[in-house]
């Protein structure tokens, strides 16, 4: 009873209710929330502190950035969803907040797109500055079956390297990327390598232009650290997996290299093992033990998950889908 009352008291204030509604749509920093609400950072920080203390929001730090998102566990998580569902979607204040949120997202996307345009021709060179790709590729080859993969999807395909790597093992390999410049590089690489069973298409990793349960394997290679909503990207990847299909996610372990944000457009400074595993579980997948490949200075983590049976969308996914409709 005390937790419920504390949560209700924390939410019963206009600015804090707006903060909950915004965090129901995205993980956001204090500066982004300040920009959207048009209020001072100290004031917004005080409201966020109260919401966290009441168990309605989770706070997590990455380097010098602090992110806020809806609570994922406990009574506060359930209460927050109930409260957000009662906010009238036609409310003028909420509509303005969501419009400003889209401006923030658009600015992020434009900055990332500009970076990709500038760096597409030397993308693989940039990757080698941080991790030994040869070691990662050997591990990936061991983590997916040598036979029986009919259709493979590479989300955020970049230069098409994953398609090249697995082309000899699959009937068809499809690469998805938002950047036309990246896709041009990928097409040139695939043509040069004679990979006729590979194709690339422009598409959004949050809304893949592909049917449900249509791929035997999905790879998300060094993409999540650019994502605004990595959990939703995992959920969408899981949607297109066939029963028995495998998802492999490659990304960095947590680190403190702040320059990767400014110089290379990274949104997140790596991911914890349990964080990615939790997103996979929420999307209806079962995970295997994580593989770590220590590097200097970055460590690469590889998560593998499998869809055991055909199933309806898990509750977490259904809730997020309903939230997007609102």
> With 70 as the cut, is the pLDDT of residue 2 above it?
yes
Contacts of 7 (CB under 8 A, 6+ apart): 54, 55, 56, 75, 76, 79, 80
Predicted confidence (pLDDT) per residue in 198-214, tens digit? 989 889 999 999 999 99
Q: How far apart are CA 109 and CA 98, in angstroms?
A: 16
**Per-residue pLDDT averaged across 221-229, rounded?**
93
CA atoms in the 13 A half-sphere facing the CB of 133: 12
Q: Is the pLDDT of residue 193 over 80?
A: yes
Q: Report the DSSP pairing between strands 149-155 and 170-177.
A: parallel
CA contacts within 13 A on the Cβ side of 68: 26
Q: Which two tokens stand for residue 271?
A: 């991911």
Least confident span in 10-19, 52-61, 63-72, 170-179: 63-72
β-pair type (300-306, 241-252): antiparallel
The rounded distance, in Å, linking the Cα atoms of 279 and 316 is 9
Which one, of 125, 136, 62, lies nearest residue 299 by Cα? 136
pLDDT digits (tens, 9 = 90+) for 58-91: 887 766 778 888 887 777 888 988 888 888 888 9
Residue 120: its pLDDT value, please? 66
pLDDT confidence of residue 62: 60
State the DSSP string of 300-320: EEEEEEE--S--PPPHHHHHH
Q: What order do you get walking across the sheet with 57-62 strand by strand? A: 28-29, 65-70, 57-62
Contacts for 81-90 with beta carbons within 8 Å, 24 or more apart?
81/24, 81/319, 83/11, 83/17, 83/20, 83/56, 84/20, 84/21, 84/24, 84/323, 85/326, 87/17, 87/21, 89/326
**pLDDT above 70 for 310:** no
Q: pLDDT, tens digit, for every residue of 245-282?
A: 999 999 999 998 888 888 888 899 999 999 999 999 99
103-150: pLDDT as tens digits? 987 887 777 677 667 776 665 655 655 667 888 999 999 999 888 899
**What pLDDT, on the 0 to 100 scale, is given for residue 295?**
82
Least confident of 136-145, 159-168, 293-302: 293-302
Q: How confident is the model at residue 6 (pLDDT cuts 50, 70, 90)?
A: confident
Instruction: Tell whether the model's pLDDT for residue 317 goes beyond 90.
Output: no
What percentage of the chain's residues is helix, strand, coil (to nearest 5)? 50, 20, 30
pLDDT of 19 over the 50 cut:
yes
């Amino acid at each position: 009873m005390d937790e419920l009352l504390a949560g209700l008291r924390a939410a019963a204030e206009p600015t804090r209710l707006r903060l909950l509604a915004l965090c129901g749509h995205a993980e956001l920093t204090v500066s982004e929330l300040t920009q959207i609400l048009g209020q001072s950072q100290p004031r917004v920080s005080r409201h966020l502190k109260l919401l966290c203390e009441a168990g309605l929001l989770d706070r997590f730090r990455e380097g010098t950035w602090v992110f806020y998102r809806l609570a994922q566990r406990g009574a506060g998580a359930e209460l927050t969803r109930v409260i957000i569902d009662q906010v009238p979607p036609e409310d003028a204040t909420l509509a303005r907040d969501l419009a400003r949120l889209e401006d923030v997202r658009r600015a992020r996307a434009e900055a990332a797109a500009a970076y990709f345009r500038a760096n597409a021709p030397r993308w693989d060179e940039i990757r080698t500055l941080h991790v030994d790709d040869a070691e990662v590729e050997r591990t990936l080859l061991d983590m997916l079956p040598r036979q029986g993969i009919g259709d493979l999807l590479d989300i955020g395909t970049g230069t098409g390297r994953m398609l090249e790597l697995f082309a000899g093992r699959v009937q068809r390999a499809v690469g998805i990327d938002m950047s036309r410049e990246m896709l041009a590089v990928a097409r040139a690489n695939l043509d040069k390598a004679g990979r006729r069973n590979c194709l690339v298409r422009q598409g959004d990793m949050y809304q893949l232009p592909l049917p449900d349960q249509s791929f035997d394997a999905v790879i998300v290679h060094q993409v999540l650290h650019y994502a605004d909503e990595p959990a939703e990207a995992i959920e969408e990847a899981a949607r297109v997996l066939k029963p028995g299909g495998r998802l492999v996610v490659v990304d960095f372990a947590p680190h403190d290299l702040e320059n990767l944000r400014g110089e290379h457009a990274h949104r997140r400074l790596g991911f914890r093992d349990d964080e990615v595993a939790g997103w996979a579980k929420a999307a209806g997948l079962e995970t295997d033990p994580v593989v770590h490949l220590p590097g200097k200075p970055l460590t690469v983590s590889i998560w593998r998950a499998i869809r055991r049976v055909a199933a309806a969308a898990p509750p977490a996914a259904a809730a997020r889908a309903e939230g997007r409709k609102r």
